[in-house]
Amino acid sequence: MNIKRWVISIALIFVVIASLGFVKFQQIQAAIAFGESFPEPSGSVKSTVVETTQLPNRIEVIGEAKAVKLLPLTTEYAGPITYVGFAPGDTVTAGQVLLRQDIAIEKANLNAAKARLKLAEAQYERQVTLVKQQRTSQNEVDIAQAEMSVAAAEVENLSSVIQKKTLIAPFNGTVGLEDYQTGQMLDANTLVTQIVGTNDEIWIDFALPQTALQTYHWR
């Protein structure tokens, strides 16, 4: 009896498995048939026809000739002219003094500043000696050092002003047609002249139209 029950149970299990397999097989077949019913995917293709075109071998544009070296010379400070070292259209050399403004007040102030600097240096050295002898404080030394630095800065500033009141040619070249006289008053930032370098080369500044750049694909 037990053997018979086992045989029946196994038979029922086999029938269930077979039924499930058949149903799954039918589902797979239906999915395959459904997929085959759709058309194959297609991609879009864009075609371009290549044509030969005759391009012009030159383009005419408007340009401007510029010197390789061109420098405007201006004043940085106001003051009367005491010396003129060029004539209109002159050819000058590098280092030549072209114009000098009055520096009498600056020279007087510079001499006074140098005297104050000398005194400040002496005071500083004296305070350094005293602090080594423990007869003064470090604070006095610091004050003397600060006063010496201020005096040195004043000397440097006045020396720079005197230097900037003298216009010197930075390179060999030709100056403009400006004409100046001794005693003439110049304001700050006044254009004195332009110096053009005496070079054999020359630059041509021009711009190409956008259509030409697109046609030739210049980079």
**CB-based contact 196:70 (threshold 8 Å):** yes
Each residue's pLDDT tens digit, 46-83: 777 877 777 666 778 888 888 888 899 999 999 999 99
What pLDDT, on the 0 to 100 scale, is given for residue 68?
85
Each residue's pLDDT tens digit, 6-30: 777 777 777 778 777 777 777 787 7
What pLDDT, on the 0 to 100 scale, is given for residue 219?
43
What pLDDT, on the 0 to 100 scale, is given for residue 28?
80
Tokens (6 digits) for 18: 């077979």
| Residues 6 or more apart in contact with residue 102 via CB below 8 angstroms | 79, 80, 81, 82, 165
Each residue's pLDDT tens digit, 81-97: 999 999 999 999 999 99
Residue with tokens 């371009």: 48
Q: What is the identity of the amino acid at 13?
A: I
What pLDDT, on the 0 to 100 scale, is given for residue 161?
95
Burial of 104 (0-12, 13-18, 19+ CB in 10 A): exposed
Mean pLDDT of 134-144: 90
- Residue 177 above 70 pLDDT? yes
Burial of 173 (0-12, 13-18, 19+ CB in 10 A): buried
User: How many percent of the chain have pLDDT more than 70?
Assistant: 88
